[in-house]
Amino acid sequence: MTIDSEILEQPTRRGLLGLPQAPMFSEAQKLSHRQLFASASTLTAAVAASVQSAQASTDKSNDIIYMSATKLAGLIRAKKVSALEAVDAYIARQLDVNDRLNAVVMNCYERAREEAKALDEKAAKGQFVGALHGVPMTIKDSLDTEGVITTGATFGRQQYIPEKDATVVARVRKEGAILLGKTNTPEFTLGGLGGITAASNLLFGASHNPYDLARTTSGSSGGAGAIVAAGGAAFDIGSDWGGSIRGPANHNGIAGIKPTSIRVPRTGHIVDYGGIFDLWQQLGPMCRRVEDIALITPIISGPDYRDASCSPVPWADPAKVNLKKLRVAYCVDNRATGEAATDEDTKKVVRQVAKWLNGDVASVTEDAPQEILERLRDARMAMSTGDGGAFYQRLADRWGTKNISPQRKARMATAVPISSAAMVEAWEKQDLCKAQMLDWMKSYDVFVCPTSNKPAQLIDGPSSPPNNSPDGWPYTGVFNSTGWPSVVVRCGSSADGKLPIGLQILAAPWREDICIAVASFIESQSGGWKKPPI
């Protein structure tokens, strides 16, 4: 059965204003879908088992703290590295660099060591928990972690200890991943000190970029991006409401994915599911290598029957994508008229990627739906600010936060609420633009564009337009509105060679396989992640 037919066959109900809500399943259908995902889980485990050898990884690194999670898992499975050795190596790296990065804000080292010892005992008996057996990770501080303080960077949760893991955390732990600690983010992941383009808050301060400690990590998954890039974790899981995985992946030179909207459950994230912004929020892994995105994303995907929107859509294998058949569109500047243009370093990287693709795909065309993107940005901006900051205030009230981040407080003070009729109109305009974007995409299979207008800027420098934009990142927020999958991978560097530049590889909904396949090809040309000087 093809992906399209699977999607069409799913019965759905229409919620407020006709937006898709959770599938309305009978008990028999629920059982059928649970069986589907049980089968999918078995398949994923089988696929994972086939790649869990060092030889299956294309990563050439031989250093535990810099190799891909896929390669490390293979070495552990081959009993060439123990889980405890891996955990100790990553803990040592965190202790070495985190006082400068301020990326990990909470640790659970002793628990991690105990879990590693238990996994090694199992391995000695030939028993392996799953595809990530013994692989050390960090998790963004906005995702609940059982027994480990999870603040969401807000005062009201400064001593909050969840009783259970967020769904995505539970799923990677079930596959054997070991949590080392929590990574820095702005308050509620929605901005605060430094806005959405920095990982900074009143509780922990700012995270720093491993390629230049004076520069931003981007946000909101900035601590995740920094510690993964610096070799302090094999991977992290971030969240993306307006560019919060893709921005940090870009600025820290790693790979990250924003999956298709509602593929991955948001249960246990501080901004979870429901409401007018429901379809904007997505969770995804952040790694040094694209092969890890292909390994981890299907593990965390699929309904948990708590997230009211998450859908049971099959995962397509990136290895089966035929690059020769792909039609690629690209643009060097996808910002709306009047906004600061993309810098020359980033444009040069986009053009280089287009040259790499030319000849290895069916066609490469410079094209972008600029007018649709501009209307989509306008609709998103109206929706983002139209409630006058009530959405953010409700989050603060829910957790008892009185001392809200000053930058967010200032924005809330100047936000002018619009009428319910105007909000509905903006919502309808967004959905119209989403349909028009799909129509434009019929001519292409892949869209490649910048992630940001510049590489990482100074933390204490002048605010660039993305810092002040109510719709998050103007380059990225529109694709939260469309719900399209996007993979960011390092494709080049600034002119001085010091700062990473990554691009977005986008495809139509549910085609993560295409995004990953193209990103993997680009990574093979550019070299992808490079060791930072820290």
Q: What are the distances in angstroms from CA 419 to CA 381, 387, 425?
A: 15, 9, 10
CB 136 within 8 Å of CB 178:
yes
Strands 104-107 and 178-183: antiparallel
Given 68, 142, 239, 244, the catalytic residue: 244
| φ and ψ at residue 10, rounded to 5 degrees | -80, 120
| Burial class of residue 103, CB neighbours in 10 A (0-12, 13-18, 19+) | buried
The contacts of residue 340 (CB under 8 Å, 6+ apart) are: 453, 464, 465
CA distance 88 to 434: 47
Is 220 considered catalytic here? yes
Helix (H, G, I), strand (E, B) or coil at 193: coil
Expressed in angstroms, the distance from the first to the final Cα of the chain is 49
CA distance 420 to 430: 15
Task: Report which secondary-structure segment, H or E, holds 242.
Answer: none
CB neighbour burial string for 440-466, b if at least 16 within 10 angstroms, e if fewer = bbeebbbbbbbbbbbbbbebeeeebeb
- Cβ–Cβ contacts within 10 Å for residue 367, how many? 14
Given 71, 140, 258, 434, the catalytic residue: 140
CB 252 within 8 Å of CB 244:
no
Report residue 212 as tokens.
């230049």
Given 57, 218, 220, 452, the catalytic residue: 220
Report residue 244 as tokens.
């919060």
Closest CA to 165 of 177, 154, 398, 155: 177
- Active-site positions? 140, 220, 244
